[in-house]
């Protein structure tokens, strides 16, 4: 008979610890589900992280998992699914009234892989409208008067507020990294295409990447390994030995980060260096500043195509900001779009040369702490170039700013160097802890 250890609060546990407690029969999946649902009931009125939640369905699924043998590396671990990603048993509305009550005929590939590994889907987390800029109802758990970031706002808030140990995000500009940084958790955007996108509502086909969020690096590594089918990502505790890290405090063409952000990233660099890393300033190549505008062009042009149905036949149900943005994208000349992509390829090749000899780059995840107000989600400028270049990125907490809000340190590695990036992230996490 499985019994819950009364000294453990499952809602405070990470994914690995929860899974191991369940495997050791010190905890039931049902008890873990009850704990997460209790936390949601307590905090959801203030935070608004969830778009769809069916507690009865969750508890029934938890009971079924308890009645079966261990199914996989996520057996019994509760997860949140961004409401941009299809689920067969819950509505998927993409943050838009156009799809109110929409029920997909199948799970998205990433959700199917998570369920096959034994994960327990708690519910759908809030997304901005079609993962663009118009925010949903979610507030930042550190200060509900401030944005949690976007577009993966509900996922970041749910993980940060101990409603779920793992959650899905997606990134087109900075939609995994920025909300994770604003909410003080770990967000991982792997190399483009590492996690399957089938069943995910796309905003920009050449940019959109499925990512993951957790409260620690080892947990995002576990989740990512399952979803990508790459076991080399899941090496718990395997930190890189004395990595060489390039430091990039500002980006040409972008506003400068706040003084608080610069101080915390510089302090993080010193602590990493004290632990044995070699630090070098990253010399960004000429033309790097064009990547920011190139990203905006590619994203706008592709979004107008991806949301053509919504733009042409349901315009009245779109937010005015998104409708205007899609009109702007539709007006972009295809030659301009092609030129932006070609320019990105050329500059990307020179960026790869600049990063040669570096294991990763350390940079701010965002310009500052989460801004006040819920009407916008913050500026993704410190994510745009890396996303356009399809590189793996990860953010982890660097400390608190002057308003006691989290500030994130972003790590960026070369294309398909995801396992190496996660090892370096463990190294940095240990240095900052």
State the Cα–Cα distance between residues 185 and 205, nearest whole angstrom: 27
State the Cα–Cα distance between residues 292 and 347, nearest whole angstrom: 11
Q: Is residue 231 part of a domain?
A: no
342 contacts: CB under 8 Å, gap ≥ 6: none
User: pLDDT by residue (tens digit) across 227-260?
Assistant: 999 999 999 888 888 999 999 999 999 999 999 9
Supply 9's token pair: 């609060």
Q: Are residues 294 and 389 in the same domain?
A: no
What's the rounded mean pLDDT across residues 360-365?
98
Residue 3 has pLDDT above 80, yes or no: no
Q: Is residue 365 part of a domain?
A: yes
Angle between helices 290-306 and 320-330 (to 10 degrees): 100
Q: Are residues 387 and 280 in the same domain?
A: yes
Per-residue model confidence (pLDDT) at position 164: 98
pTM of the model: 0.97
Residue 4 has pLDDT above 70, yes or no: no
What's the rounded mean pLDDT across residues 337-366?
98
Q: Is residue 110 part of a domain?
A: no
State the Cα–Cα distance between residues 133 and 378, nearest whole angstrom: 9
| For residue 332, cis peptide bond before it (omega within 30 degrees of 0) | no
Per-residue model confidence (pLDDT) at position 8: 77
Q: Are residues 366 and 303 in the same domain?
A: no
Which contiguous run of DSSP H or E holds residue 82?
strand 78-82
Q: Is residue 372 part of a domain?
A: yes
State the Cα–Cα distance between residues 201 and 198, nearest whole angstrom: 8
Q: Which of 133, 153, 175, 319 is catalytic?
A: 175
Q: Are residues 353 and 248 in the same domain?
A: yes
Burial level of 336, CB count in 10 A (0-12/13-18/19+)?
middle
Supply 67's token pair: 């009645």
Active site residue 175: yes
Q: Which of 11, 96, 133, 151 is catalytic?
A: 151
User: pLDDT by residue (tens digit) across 37-52?
Assistant: 999 999 999 999 999 9
pLDDT class of 6 with cuts at 50, 70, 90:
very low
The last residue of one of the domains, among 325, 340, 355, is 340
| Residue range(s) defining the domain that contains residue 321 | 290-340
Per-residue model confidence (pLDDT) at position 331: 98
Q: Are residues 277 and 365 in the same domain?
A: yes
Q: Is residue 267 part of a domain?
A: yes
Per-residue model confidence (pLDDT) at position 7: 65
What's the rounded mean pLDDT across residues 57-63?
98
User: pLDDT by residue (tens digit) across 168-211?
Assistant: 999 999 999 999 999 999 999 999 999 999 999 999 999 999 99
Q: Are residues 282 and 352 in the same domain?
A: yes
Total structural domains in the chain?
A: 2
Q: Are residues 353 and 404 in the same domain?
A: yes
Burial level of 278, CB count in 10 A (0-12/13-18/19+)?
middle
Q: Are residues 371 and 255 in the same domain?
A: yes
Q: How far is residue 21 from each of residues 4, 28, 39, 163, 165, measured CA to CA in Å?
A: 9, 8, 19, 18, 14
Q: Contact 298/385 with Cβ under 8 angstroms?
A: no
Q: Is residue 430 part of a domain?
A: no
Residue 2 has pLDDT above 80, yes or no: no
Closest CA to 407 of 289, 278, 283, 267: 267
The last residue of one of the domains, among 324, 340, 356, is 340
User: pLDDT by residue (tens digit) across 367-410?
Assistant: 999 999 999 999 999 999 999 999 999 999 999 999 999 999 99
DSSP 183: H
Q: Are residues 397 and 318 in the same domain?
A: no
Q: Which residues pair with 330 in a beta bridge?
A: none
The last residue of one of the domains, among 302, 317, 340, is 340
232 contacts: CB under 8 Å, gap ≥ 6: 225, 419
299 contacts: CB under 8 Å, gap ≥ 6: 172, 173, 203, 204, 207, 329
- Percent residues over pLDDT 90 in the chain: 96
Residue 120 has pLDDT above 50, yes or no: yes
State the Cα–Cα distance between residues 166 and 169, nearest whole angstrom: 10
| Longest alpha-carbon distance in the chain | 66
Per-residue model confidence (pLDDT) at position 26: 95
Q: How far is residue 107 from each of residues 24, 85, 116, 402, measured CA to CA in Å?
A: 30, 8, 11, 42
Q: Is residue 279 part of a domain?
A: yes
Q: Where are the alpha helices (DSSP H) in 275-417?
A: 290-306, 308-313, 320-330, 334-354, 384-388
Active site residue 151: yes
* Terminal Cα-to-Cα distance of the chain (whole angstroms): 38
Q: Are residues 294 and 410 in the same domain?
A: no
Per-residue model confidence (pLDDT) at position 240: 83
Residue 60 has pLDDT above 60, yes or no: yes
Tokens 């062009």, located at residue: 297
Q: What is the CA radius of gyration of the chain?
A: 20
Q: Are residues 269 and 352 in the same domain?
A: yes
Q: Is residue 172 part of a domain?
A: no
Q: Contact 385/307 with Cβ under 8 angstroms?
A: no
4 contacts: CB under 8 Å, gap ≥ 6: 10, 26, 27, 28, 31
Mean pLDDT of the chain: 96
Active site residue 137: no
Q: Where are the alpha helices (DSSP H) in 317-390?
A: 320-330, 334-354, 384-388
19 contacts: CB under 8 Å, gap ≥ 6: 73, 74, 75, 76, 77
State the Cα–Cα distance between residues 208 and 224, nearest whole angstrom: 16
Size of the chain, expressed as the number of residues it contains: 433
């Amino acid at each position: 008979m499985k019994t819950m250890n009364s000294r453990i609060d499952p809602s405070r546990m990470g994914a690995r610890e929860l899974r191991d407690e369940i495997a050791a029969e010190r905890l039931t999946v049902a008890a873990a589900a009850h704990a997460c649902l209790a936390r949601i009931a307590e905090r959801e009125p203030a935070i608004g992280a969830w778009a769809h939640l069916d507690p009865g369905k969750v508890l029934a699924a938890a009971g079924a998992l308890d009645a079966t043998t261990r199914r996989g590396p996520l057996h019994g671990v509760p997860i949140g699914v961004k409401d941009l990603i299809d689920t067969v048993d819950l509505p998927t509305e993409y943050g838009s009234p156009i799809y109110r009550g929409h029920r997909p005929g199948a799970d998205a590939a990433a959700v199917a892989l998570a369920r096959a590994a034994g994960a327990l889907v708690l519910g759908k987390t809030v997304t901005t409208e079609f993962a663009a800029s118009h925010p949903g109802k979610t507030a930042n758990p550190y200060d509900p008067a401030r944005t949690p970031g976007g577009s993966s706002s509900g996922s970041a808030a749910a993980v940060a507020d101990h409603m779920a140990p793992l959650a899905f995000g997606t990134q087109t500009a900075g939609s995994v990294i920025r909300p994770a940084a604003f909410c003080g958790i770990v967000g991982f955007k792997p190399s483009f295409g590492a996690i399957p996108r089938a069943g995910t509502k796309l905003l920009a086909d050449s940019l959109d990447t499925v990512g993951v969020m957790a409260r620690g690096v080892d947990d995002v590594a576990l989740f990512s390994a399952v979803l990508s089918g790459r076991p080399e990502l899941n090496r718990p505790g395997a930190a890189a030995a004395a990595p060489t890290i390039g430091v990039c405090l500002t980006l040409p063409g972008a506003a400068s980060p706040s003084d608080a952000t610069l101080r915390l990233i510089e302090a993080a660099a010193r602590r990493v260096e004290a632990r044995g890393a070699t630090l070098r300033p990253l010399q960004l190549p000429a033309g790097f500043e064009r990547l920011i505008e190139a990203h905006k062009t590619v994203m706008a042009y592709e979004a107008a195509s991806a949301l053509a149905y919504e733009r042409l036949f349901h315009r009245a149900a779109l937010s005015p900001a998104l409708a205007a943005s899609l009109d702007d994208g539709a007006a972009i000349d295809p030659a301009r779009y092609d030129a932006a992509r070609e320019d990105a390829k050329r500059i990307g090749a020179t960026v790869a040369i600049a990063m040669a000899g570096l294991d990763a780059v350390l940079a701010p995840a965002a310009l500052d702490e989460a801004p006040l107000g819920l009407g916008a989600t913050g500026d993704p400028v410190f994510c745009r170039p890396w996303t356009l270049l399809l590189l793996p990125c990860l953010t982890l907490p660097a400390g608190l700013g002057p308003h006691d809000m989290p500030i994130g340190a972003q790590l960026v590695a070369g294309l398909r160097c995801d396992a190496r990036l996660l090892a370096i992230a463990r190294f940095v996490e240990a240095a900052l802890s």
